[in-house]
Amino acid sequence: MITHFNPVADLIVVESRLWGPGGRVRLSLAIDTGSATTVVAPHIVDDLGYNPRHGVAVTTVRSAVGEEHGYILTVSRLAALGFMISRFPVHVFDLAAGHGIDGLIGLSFLRNFDYAVRSIVGTITVRPAVEDAGLE
């Protein structure tokens, strides 16, 4: 599966979809291999009918600019890069403003796949992860 992105933009942003009790919504998510978890902004999950009471854990994210409080939420489905995962945990907290994104696709999603980013042409090629069958 090949997904296109704007090769001259500051972030690699892809269209995604998220499902919840109130339906589904389209998202703009940035690919972030430095993020262990997939992150979604609170207003998105609120609009889908989720709230912090649906969360499974309260969290604190520490960064160079301070702390953000949030929670882990298992959503019905998340689709991105041509694939869908059901009952997927996302980290819900506010992101820095000004980037025009609804969240991040982190390693919690990406580790399910073998992917290659071609920055010059603006494509991400993704296929389901397959073990090496003993190749070294």
| DSSP-assigned states of every residue in 68-90 | EEEEEEEEEEEEETTEEEEEEEE
Would you kindly state where each structural domain of the chain is located, as residue ranges?
9-113
The token pair at 71 is: 């929670």
Name the CATH superfamily housing domain 9-113. Acid Proteases (2.40.70.10)
pLDDT of 54:
86
Residue 61 vs residues 32, 44, 89, 93, 111: alpha-carbon distances, Å: 15, 19, 16, 9, 21
Question: pLDDT tens, position by position, for the chain (136 residues)?
Answer: 999 999 999 999 999 999 999 999 999 999 999 889 999 999 999 999 998 888 888 888 776 667 778 899 999 999 999 999 999 999 998 887 767 899 999 999 999 999 999 999 999 999 987 765 454 4
Please state the pTM of the whole predicted model: 0.86
- State the Cα–Cα distance between residues 30 and 116, nearest whole angstrom: 15
Tokens 């649906």 correspond to what residue?
A: 54
